[in-house]
Amino acid sequence: MGNKIGVYVCHCGTNIAGKVDCEHVAKYAGGLRDVVVARDYQFMCSDPGQDMIIRDIRDYGLNRVVVASCSPRLHEKTFQKACQRGGLNPYLMQHCCIREHCSWVTADRGEATAKARRIVEASVNRVGRHRELFTRDVDVLPDVMVVGAGIAGIQAALDIARSGHRVHLVEQGPSIGGHMAQFDKTFPTLDCAACISTPKMVAVAQEPNINLLTWSEVVDVSGFVGNYTVTVLRKARYVNEDVCTGCGTCLEKCPTKVLSDFEEKLAFRKAIYRNSPQAVPNTPVIDAAHCKMITKGKCGICQKVCPTGAIDYNAVERREVYHVGSVVLATGYDTMDPTVMSEYGFGRFEEVYTALQFERLNNAVGPTGGRILMKNGQPPESVAIIHCVGSRDKNYHEYCSRTCCMYALKYDHLIKDKVGHHARVYNFYIDMRCFGKGYEEFYRRVQEEGVTFIRGRPAEVVREDGHLVVVGEDTLLGMRVRVPVDMVVLCTAMEPRRNAQDVARVFGVSQGQDGFFLEEHPKLGPVSTATDGVFLAGSCQGPKDIPDAVSHASGGAAQALALAARGHVSISPTTSYIDPEVCIGCKVCIGLCPYSAIEFDERRKVSVINEAMCKGCGSCAGYCPSGAAQIKHFRESQVFDEIDGLLGMHAPEGPCGESAESSANVQAGEPA
Amino acid sequence: MKTEFEPTILAFVCNWCTYTAADLAGTSRMVQQPNVRLVRMMCTGMVDPKYVIKALLSGADGVLISGCHPGDCHYMNGNYKARRRVRLLKEILPLFGIEEGRVKLTWVGASEGNEFAATVNNFINEIREIGPMEARSMAIV
């Protein structure tokens, strides 16, 4: 049977038709070989548009379909499904893009139309070579892994666990809670962070469906959607979690003091420590680099005082393997170290703090017991809060960190509240971005509390006569300002975690320009990634405040659950195939395959693909010296014909081919 | 003569990075010269040198191959394979009278829409400088 091709050119309103003469392109396509019907239509992705394809498949006996509209990354599946509904194998359809790669980026209408014609012709050429392909269904393992146990990871884990699915929650730190555990109050409600996060942390510990793996890291991931094998490194804690009661005697007796990262280096912790009294789990961990018993073999006090004998200096790390259907990444963010911006004096002047340090100054279990105090033990009489430190700055991070305006306002309020209303607070800002529910109202409230707002990024912080002076310009007044203050708080940028690149590599996700993990689509796919079965939650995808992180996490959980609950997933059939008649048995492909999906059949002396493991990357096909290895749907003949079409190798005579059906265009609202 | 020459460029781009970047360039309306036409591949690792030569012999004046940044490949290391292969391909192109500048390999990540538009426009200008493919008329296919 010969090919009967239907071509559909979408106007996409004026998105395509504004630059491409769609009617002309459809007419041209109508004159191409094997094309029996060619139409242009306002919106191909609409129901009437899809119905048009389905009806034509029946009426004209179409066995190939070409849709020219937006990017196949957006709507290829839509039209594949439409073909399927019309009784046509979805792989006998070719979707080509005349919007993102043509109408939207071409200045001239004539040129855009000519380019669209070529693109359509290439697809018509190519689709003639398409073959029926069938997706395979594979089972999805019911368990889910969540990586990172900040507020996003916690939320995702709880959502999944409460549906009845088992969750392995991996956290690299000794306890869960992430950055939120360091905060005191949250904007704009001034809820106490611990009051709202501790119940969730405890719920995680008590949830029987959650397997909590703290002090652990994912070191290897293999497999594919629905069937991931994850190797988790359980670092040596030196404290037996099953025996320890969390009494804390060891912490009191340990003689070694180390600057605490959790306290942002404002206080000391012991060599055996936990982040805070509310830590979940409350089992301490021994910092092997500083423990005198482990480094020098002298001390051993914690072991002596431990009432349950939980201390084990000889503990070793171990690897555990988990089989999960999907993964939710919630690895969070780091705050920028402002030392590099030496003009602000962080690290040089002791009363210059980062935002996270200031959070600790406010925290009831922090180094000052929740009082805002300077190093000399006195409360500051005046504080400068510098916004956008490292954010919205071409030299550091171009993006806005989204949370700083609001936490700066929170600090304004807290200073007025805790130090007293006589305390002067100066905000140096570029723009105020109070975009959330109740945020603008909070801004107004803080303004009414008598806080000073100065528009303009300060030039530097200097020290004169023992006082800090912020030097800058008030760009609204057009005047230079010099503001003497006791304390400076730097609203530091949120940036990708230091190890984001390693995590990205292990899980096979991409990073965007900023280094945050790249979502599948910035608008419509903000939780999924290009790797099926790996989802994102929270600030590992980009700066987020708590409500955004929590809702993003619930979104990630829902996606993972959708997979787990359905129990099976369709795998693309566009894998490799090695023609045994052509294969010369050179084995080149075997060494090239990154997934070990090719084996050698000793009896027939040919290479054989294991389709369950093949992901269709084409490493074998591109190198096969005999042409035996081919990627289905990207076969040599298909690519060759596409190239011919793009280059106009078989273009019919004349500027626009005519055929009986080519005038069968339909206008909006009256499909033929 | 050169001012009238409008080169035809074929670009083999990987689905995961550069094709996505091309989408983004489109969504962001970053105008490009119309001379480039994309061939979507799943990975630069599946771009057979045959495709490049075929394109050059069939009317393309330049061929762009673009994929994920090193270390970012969706298929672990397909882009490294492409890099080696293009290197080898460039060694043999001059033997056929084809300037090696007609084939270019670049990395454009999925979020780099502006980079994609710039790459395309620059490459078109480079090929415009090199001029039409003379070797094609002498080749016996």
Please check whether residues A197 and A125 belong to one and the same domain: no
Given an 8 Å threshold on Cβ–Cβ distance, is A115 in contact with B75?
Answer: no
Chain B hits for A634, Cβ within 8 Å:
41-42, 46
Single-letter residue type at A228: Y
pLDDT in the model for residue A665: 45
Q: How confident is the model at residue A505 (pLDDT cuts 50, 70, 90)?
A: confident
pTM (two decimals)? 0.83
Tell me which residue in B16, B45, B85 faces A530 most closely, judged by beta carbons.
Answer: B16
A354 touches chain B (CB under 8 A): no
pLDDT in the model for residue A524: 84
Rounded Cα–Cα distance for residues A283 and A245 (Å): 7
Tell me which residue in A505, A510, A594 faces B109 most closely, judged by beta carbons.
Answer: A510
Please check whether residues A352 and A487 belong to one and the same domain: yes
Rounded Cα–Cα distance for residues A117 and A30 (Å): 11
**Looking at residues A216-237, what average pLDDT do you find?**
94
Look at A613 and A322; give whichever has higher pLDDT. A322
Q: How confident is the model at residue A659 (pLDDT cuts 50, 70, 90)?
A: very low
DSSP code of residue A69: E
Rounded Cα–Cα distance for residues A454 and A477 (Å): 9
Residues 287-346 of A with CB under 8 A from B: none
Rounded Cα–Cα distance for residues A527 and A541 (Å): 8
Rounded Cα–Cα distance for residues A671 and A7 (Å): 15
Which helix (H) or strand (E) segment is A65 a member of? strand A64-69
DSSP per-residue string spanning A223-257? EETTEEEEEEEE---SB-TTT-----HHHHH---E
**Looking at residues A13-22, what average pLDDT do you find?**
96
Tokens read off for A42: 């306002």
Tell me which residue in A74, A592, A616 faces B81 most closely, judged by beta carbons.
Answer: A592
Chain B hits for A513, Cβ within 8 Å:
109, 111-112
pLDDT in the model for residue B137: 75
In a domain, A521, yes or no: yes
Closest-CA distance of chain B to residue A641, Å: 10
Model confidence at A662: pLDDT above 60: no
**Where among A523, A547, A568 does a domain terminate?**
A568
pLDDT in the model for residue B3: 55
Unique residue bearing structure tokens 């009191």: A252
Q: How confident is the model at residue A512 (pLDDT cuts 50, 70, 90)?
A: confident
A112 touches chain B (CB under 8 A): yes
CATH of the domain at A581: 3.30.70.20
Please check whether residues A85 and A157 belong to one and the same domain: no
- Please state the domain count of chain A: 5
Model confidence at B2: pLDDT above 70: no
Tell me which residue in B29, B39, B41 faces A646 most closely, judged by beta carbons.
Answer: B39
Rounded Cα–Cα distance for residues A487 and A368 (Å): 15
Residue A294 neighbours by CB under 8 Å, 6+ apart: A238, A286, A288, A313
Give ipTM to 2 decimals.
0.95
Please check whether residues A391 and A423 belong to one and the same domain: yes
A222 touches chain B (CB under 8 A): no
Half-sphere exposure in the Cβ direction for A328 (13 Å, CA): 41
Tokens read off for A10: 């979408």
In a domain, A139, yes or no: no
A 10 A CB-CB count for A116 gives: 30
In a domain, A468, yes or no: yes
Please check whether residues A328 and A189 belong to one and the same domain: yes
Please check whether residues A646 and A614 belong to one and the same domain: no
Chain B hits for A531, Cβ within 8 Å:
74
Least confidently predicted of A45-49, A157-161, A221-225, A663-667: A663-667
Domains and CATH numbers, chain B: 9-138 (3.40.50)
Angle, alpha carbons A44-A47-A49 (nearest 5°): 30
pLDDT in the model for residue A670: 33
Tokens read off for A23: 């009617």
In a domain, A230, yes or no: yes
A 10 A CB-CB count for A268 gives: 13
Given an 8 Å threshold on Cβ–Cβ distance, is B34 in contact with A115?
Answer: yes
Please check whether residues A426 and A346 belong to one and the same domain: yes
Model confidence at A242: pLDDT above 60: yes
Given an 8 Å threshold on Cβ–Cβ distance, is A594 in contact with B76?
Answer: yes
Minimum CA–CA partner of A642 in chain B: B39
Q: How confident is the model at residue A452 (pLDDT cuts 50, 70, 90)?
A: very high
Given an 8 Å threshold on Cβ–Cβ distance, is B41 in contact with A634?
Answer: yes
Tokens read off for A607: 């290479």
Given an 8 Å threshold on Cβ–Cβ distance, is A619 in contact with B45?
Answer: yes
In a domain, A243, yes or no: no
Model confidence at A554: pLDDT above 70: yes
Please check whether residues A475 and A505 belong to one and the same domain: no
Model confidence at A158: pLDDT above 90: yes
Closest-CA distance of chain B to residue A163, Å: 31
Q: How confident is the model at residue A667 (pLDDT cuts 50, 70, 90)?
A: very low
By three-state DSSP, how is residue A429 classified? strand
In a domain, A312, yes or no: no
pLDDT in the model for residue B126: 96
pLDDT in the model for residue A635: 95
Given an 8 Å threshold on Cβ–Cβ distance, is A100 in contact with B31?
Answer: no
φ, ψ (nearest 5 deg) of residue A298: -125, 135
Minimum CA–CA partner of A74 in chain B: B23
**Looking at residues A371-396, what average pLDDT do you find?**
96
CATH of the domain at A156: 3.50.50.60
In a domain, A607, yes or no: yes
**Neighbouring-strand partners of residue A479:** A474
A–B interface: beta-carbon pairs under 8 A? 148
A 10 A CB-CB count for A278 gives: 16
pLDDT in the model for residue B140: 61
Minimum CA–CA partner of A627 in chain B: B48
Model confidence at A663: pLDDT above 50: no
Residue A146 neighbours by CB under 8 Å, 6+ apart: A153, A156, A157, A160, A167, A168, A169, A170, A327, A328, A330, A537
**Neighbouring-strand partners of residue A327:** A145, A534
Model confidence at A415: pLDDT above 80: yes
pLDDT one-digit tens code per residue, B28-44: 999 999 999 999 999 99
Given an 8 Å threshold on Cβ–Cβ distance, is A115 in contact with B37?
Answer: yes
φ, ψ (nearest 5 deg) of residue A642: -65, -45
A438 touches chain B (CB under 8 A): no
Closest-CA distance of chain A to residue B84, Å: 11
Closest-CA distance of chain B to residue A110, Å: 10
pLDDT, chain B, mean: 91
**Where among A480, A495, A510 does a domain terminate?**
A495
Q: At what angle do helices B49-57 and B78-92 cross, to 10 degrees?
A: 50
pLDDT, chain A, mean: 93
pLDDT in the model for residue A169: 98
Given an 8 Å threshold on Cβ–Cβ distance, is A512 in contact with B68?
Answer: no
**Looking at residues A516-526, what average pLDDT do you find?**
88
**Neighbouring-strand partners of residue B104:** B64
Model confidence at A664: pLDDT above 80: no
pLDDT in the model for residue B10: 97
pLDDT one-digit tens code per residue, B123-137: 999 999 999 988 777
pLDDT in the model for residue A39: 97
Length in residues, chain A: 672
Minimum CA–CA partner of B41 in chain A: A634
By three-state DSSP, how is residue A272 classified? strand
A625 touches chain B (CB under 8 A): no
Please check whether residues A385 and A455 belong to one and the same domain: yes
A639 touches chain B (CB under 8 A): yes
Tell me which residue in B10, B34, B47 faces A111 most closely, judged by beta carbons.
Answer: B34
Tokens read off for A473: 């310009």
Given an 8 Å threshold on Cβ–Cβ distance, is A530 in contact with B26?
Answer: no
Please check whether residues A188 and A157 belong to one and the same domain: yes
Rounded Cα–Cα distance for residues A283 and A268 (Å): 18
Tell me which residue in B47, B77, B109 faces A594 most closely, judged by beta carbons.
Answer: B77
Rounded Cα–Cα distance for residues A535 and A522 (Å): 14
**Distance (Å) of CA B31 to CA A69, B17, B25, B111, B116:** 18, 19, 8, 17, 11
DSSP code of residue A311: B
Tell me which residue in B25, B72, B117 faces A510 most closely, judged by beta carbons.
Answer: B72
pLDDT in the model for residue B141: 55
Model confidence at A658: pLDDT above 90: no
Q: How confident is the model at residue A35 (pLDDT cuts 50, 70, 90)?
A: very high
Please check whether residues A22 and A59 belong to one and the same domain: yes
Please check whether residues A561 and A533 belong to one and the same domain: yes
Chain A hits for B80, Cβ within 8 Å:
none
Closest-CA distance of chain B to residue A96, Å: 10
Unique residue bearing structure tokens 């719920």: A203
By the 8 A CB rule, do A19 and A112 touch? yes
In a domain, A660, yes or no: yes
Minimum CA–CA partner of B52 in chain A: A643
Q: How confident is the model at residue A500 (pLDDT cuts 50, 70, 90)?
A: very high
DSSP per-residue string spanning A36-60? EEEEEES-TTSHHHHHHHHHHHHHH
pLDDT one-digit tens code per residue, A612-649: 788 899 999 988 999 999 999 999 999 999 999 999 87
Where in the sequence is the domain holding A226, given as residue range(s)? 144-235+318-332+497-568
**Where among A517, A542, A568 does a domain terminate?**
A568
Given an 8 Å threshold on Cβ–Cβ distance, is B46 in contact with A621?
Answer: yes
Given an 8 Å threshold on Cβ–Cβ distance, is B78 in contact with A617?
Answer: yes
Tell me which residue in A97, A105, A642 faces B29 most closely, judged by beta carbons.
Answer: A105
